Amino acid sequence: MKNFKNILLFHSLLFSVALGFSQEVSKIVLEPSEDTTIISRHIYGHFAEHLGRSIYDGLYVGPESPIPNTDGVRNDIIQALKDIQIPNLRWPGGCFADTYHWKEGIGPKENRPTIVNQWWGGVTEDNSFGTHDFLNLCERLGAEPYLAANIGSGTVREFTDWIQYVNHAEGSPMAKLRKENGRNKPWNVKYWGVGNEMWGCGGNMTPEYYANLYKQYATFMADWGNSSNLYRIASGANTDDYHWTEVLMRDIPKNLIEGVALHSYSFVEWENKGSASNFNEAQYFSTMQTALKMEELVTKHIAIMDKYDPKKKVDLIVDEWGGWYDVEEGTNPGFLYQQNTMRDAMIAGATLNIFNNHSDRVKMANLAQTVNVLQAVALTDGPNMILTPTYHVMKMYTVHHDAELIPLKLKGAEYSFNGESLPAISVSASKNKSNKVNISLVNIDSKKKNKIELDLGNLEVKDMTATILIANKLQDHNTFDIPEKIKPGQFKDFKLKKGKLEVELPPFSVVVLSEK
């Protein structure tokens, strides 16, 4: 608590300098609509690839490890993911998915072949974490599994056998094999990715070629009347490749597809990403430019989808997003291990607000990645685990899970640097099943606080409580020596009177206000 008060004191001193300028007021009007849109909890999904220390040493340490575990999965990770109400988990990739052959990861562990991870560091792994381990973990977490299937180097038979193995109850060859391996009842996996990044590591395909290949695979996917009701997700565009989305929506019959994916990462420059924790304001501004471009990407891809699917039967699935920087000094370049600062909290808060506001079409998203890779929510070092600023944003935003979106209008201040400007304020609002209003606000400005006036209209909100994530510096992060340097605290710098809410939002902060 003392550290948190020191942070607020620091910001008060910062404000005294920043407020020497005239302050622009951001105005937000909440406009409840009769057209109900639900913010799917699956927007808050995660992604665990066989990459670096994501699976091994991250999620999985093995049942013989002295680190407390359940069937080899770290108990601290299990609890941390439960605490953010993880709705779904994507596995085994990523690029790794299109080199993964699932039958090598089932049966007695001592009999499983080793494989070389050609994409991530060229390391050899023993396949000790496979289908049973992953799906049993999802059951413990109460999360829906999202399996990314091998299209790039696999076959239709291999794919459909996997579906049969995890979903068919009995009487089939794969159901019999599953039972021999110790699992009697099926897992009824619903979400299936039909390949990954087919424009790149999935095979460097054209969208026309992939659309035909997708139709072939999707045609042979069946759940035999089980409760899973397969949800087929096509490998979608890389950032602003709108032609890719156009071809998929044009060429794939709507009875063969439930979702189209999109991948987009935030970084300074692709060839020079810079340090995750030692960055300057120019690098911060550039990273936020790419992060906020998600609004444009989602809007334009949705426009194409609306053209071919005006009834919105096909969902947009942003199943890889997050910040991407250079690896930490002294670590394997192929392991993509990076620290997580308040910059990442800004990316997370603003991006999730974008997804919420487009939840009529965006129905799932997956932060990359869960543990020890890219914008992770948790980092591990032997028996120790720390939670990152991104984790805390995810936990603060659980109030939006499966809540009703409240549409809004924003006329906000700008964050300016070196002659360029970005929207300083990001916001989304929802009403939960108890009809309580929740509002998430982000101020990405690195120096200035922003005053915000919210008109709550006829929502009849009487009282609110608030939580804030804040730090002394944008570069601040949690370490294994100081694991709670950044964590949420109580926020009181707001006033609510007669349906008008005034908020003083500190620089680089995330605030969630909740109706009592």
| Active-site amino acid positions | 197, 320
Query: Left, alpha or beta for 246 (phi > 0: left; psi -120 to 50: alpha)?
Result: alpha
Instruction: Give, in degrees to the nearest 5, the angle at Cα 288 between 285 and 294.
Output: 150
Quickly list DSSP for 150-162: --SS--HHHHHHH
Q: What is the distance between the alpha carbons of residues 133 and 112, in angstroms, rounded to a whole number?
A: 14
The DSSP secondary-structure symbol of 454 reads E
- Bridge-partner residues for 39, per DSSP? 403
Structural tokens at position 141:
């977490």
CA nearest neighbour of 192 among 146, 152, 151: 146
Evaluate the CA torsion angle 248, 249, 253, 257 in order and state its sign: positive
3-state secondary structure of 399: helix
3-state secondary structure of 510: strand
Q: What is the distance between the alpha carbons of residues 358 and 315, in angstroms, rounded to a whole number?
A: 11
Task: Name the amino acid, one letter, at 144.
Answer: E
Q: What is the distance between the alpha carbons of residues 448 and 501, in angstroms, rounded to a whole number?
A: 20
Residues 340 and 477 sit within 8 Å (Cβ to Cβ): yes
Half-sphere exposure of 160 (CA within 13 A, CB side): 14
Residues 323 and 343 sit within 8 Å (Cβ to Cβ): yes
Three-state SS sequence of 218-264: HHCCCCCCCCCCCEEEEEEEECCCHHHHHHHHHHCCHHHCCEEEEEE
The number of beta carbons lying within 10 Å of the beta carbon of residue 346 is 31
CA nearest neighbour of 7 among 445, 506, 348, 514: 506
Query: Left, alpha or beta for 204 (phi > 0: left; psi -120 to 50: alpha)?
Result: left
Burial label, 220 (beta-carbon count in 10 A; 0-12, 13-18, 19+) = exposed
